[in-house]
Amino acid sequence: MDARTSGAETESGEGGTHPSPARLATLPLLAISIMAPVTLPVPVLRELVGERFQVSELLTSLFMSVNMVGAALAAPLAGALADRLGRRRALVIAALCVDAICFAAMTSRVPFGLFLAIRFVEGCAHIFALSLLLSIAASTGGERGRGLTMGLTGAGMMLGVALGAPIGGLLGRADILRPLEAGAGLLVAAAALAGAALVDPPSFESRPGAAAIWRAVRGHRALIAPLVFAFADRFTVGFYTTTFSLFASGLHGASPPRVGLWISSFMLPFALLSFPFGVLADRVSKTALLCGGSAIYGVLTASLGFWPTDWIGPGMAVIGMAAAVMFVPSMLMTTDLTPPEIRSTALGAFNTAGSLGFIVGPITGGLVSDWVRASHGAAAGYQAAFGVAGVAELLCAGLAL
């Protein structure tokens, strides 16, 4: 066992003391660095993909979905491999390096098919690093401090998402490739930070084989509940990243800066409140937080299409608060319901469920809004789409709990 692992064990084993402030700070910094590149290219998507490769809007949209397909496939493999090898830190560093190489490669003059293939690999590397960072965060806090470490990491994730888009928009004004270059640089910096400061959680005496890992996962059927929450939450977030933008500009006449402001109204409370709700989840019932948050989130989402324009900014902030209530507790429930030796696998499954929701959400939003719009008009189409998203959240919460 090396010095890094040994330090992790004495500081914070499964029931140990709190980790040092430096180790705590590393987790959200890495989370920001991993998540910001996800949204850096979003503001220049049309120019970066559609105009650069002269492809349709449908093919342009593949840029935002093909990496999620890669993520959905790679997340469980990442978790199982980490549980088998027990070297999460090294795998995080390797994944960040591959992710950086992919971002740099996407700035090259390549055929569109190869461009999407690189994006697919990028999605695999991204979720590999993220899943294992979450696993390290879950183990670092121990049983008593897991809400603290997961809350900080979750807040870093959402803050990275919230910061990526506006920064990408500013960078893209000068050069449409600048957001990709910035993403590559940020991921290299993250790999360096992980190498210098990230600590592996305590090692176990024996590593389970692949068959033992999957037997253990099948034996913990209660994991279905947080996985359903992960799917439902990302399913609805998919509506907010695609359908909401069209709804805001098409129905309310919002300019791009105003659309960005409304989305920030959702993302910033989500990011800032993830940490306190993570800490709160160590003290109160996670089930109560998930039920309460899901009820508010589902009802507000279902009614969004009926709101007057003046309500949207404040309403999006309240929806972001409700999302924060659910986000970290659902991850904590995943870790609480699994033994340490398969925790990476469980969090990989959590991320797979979320990635699948994010893939299905935008497609569902587009199909529902187009189908209803054809016979009842644009307003009814968007109302139906958000109604489906809100009801899906409520139904999934009911089924899971």
Q: Is the pLDDT of residue 7 over 60?
A: no
- Fold: same for 1-207 and 220-401: yes
Highest mean pLDDT of the ranges 5-19, 40-54, 350-364? 40-54
- The token duo for 333 is 């429930």
pLDDT one-digit tens code per residue, 183-214: 999 999 999 999 999 988 765 444 444 455 45
Q: Is the pLDDT of residue 4 over 60?
A: no
Q: Average pLDDT over the chain, rounded to whole?
A: 82
C-alpha 217 chain-centroid distance: 22
pLDDT at 275: 82
pLDDT one-digit tens code per residue, 70-83: 888 888 788 777 76
Report the CATH number of the 220-401 domain: 1.20.1250.20
Q: How far apart are CA 124 and CA 204, in angstroms?
A: 27
Q: Residue 8: pLDDT band by 50, 70, 90 thresholds?
A: very low
pTM of this structure: 0.75
pLDDT at 216: 53
- The token duo for 250 is 């098409």
Q: How far apart are CA 67 and CA 33, in angstroms?
A: 17
Closest listed residue to residue 233, CA positions, set 128, 357, 342:
357
3-class state of residue 200 by DSSP: coil
Q: How many CB atoms lie within 10 A of CB 73?
A: 15
pLDDT at 11: 45
pLDDT one-digit tens code per residue, 233-269: 888 887 887 778 778 877 888 876 677 778 778 888 9
pLDDT one-digit tens code per residue, 276-307: 888 888 788 888 888 888 899 999 999 999 99
Across 176-181, average pLDDT: 94
Domain residue extents for the chain: 1-207, 220-401
pLDDT at 401: 61
pLDDT at 286: 81
Task: Name the one residue in this structure whose structure tokens are 């947080």.
Answer: 226
pLDDT at 215: 59
Q: Show the DSSP H helices in 239-342 as ranges.
A: 244-251, 256-281, 286-303, 309-336
pLDDT one-digit tens code per residue, 113-148: 999 999 999 999 999 999 899 888 877 766 666 778
pLDDT at 163: 87
Check residues 83 and 39 and name the one with the higher pLDDT: 39
pLDDT at 239: 80
Q: Is the pLDDT of residue 228 over 50?
A: yes
Tell me yes or no: is domain 1-207 CATH 1.20.1250.20: yes
User: Could you tell me the sign of the dihedral formed by the alpha carbons of 45, 106, 240, 281, in that order?
Assistant: negative
pLDDT one-digit tens code per residue, 319-353: 999 988 888 888 778 777 776 666 667 777 777 78
pLDDT at 3: 42
Check residues 29 and 273 and name the one with the higher pLDDT: 29
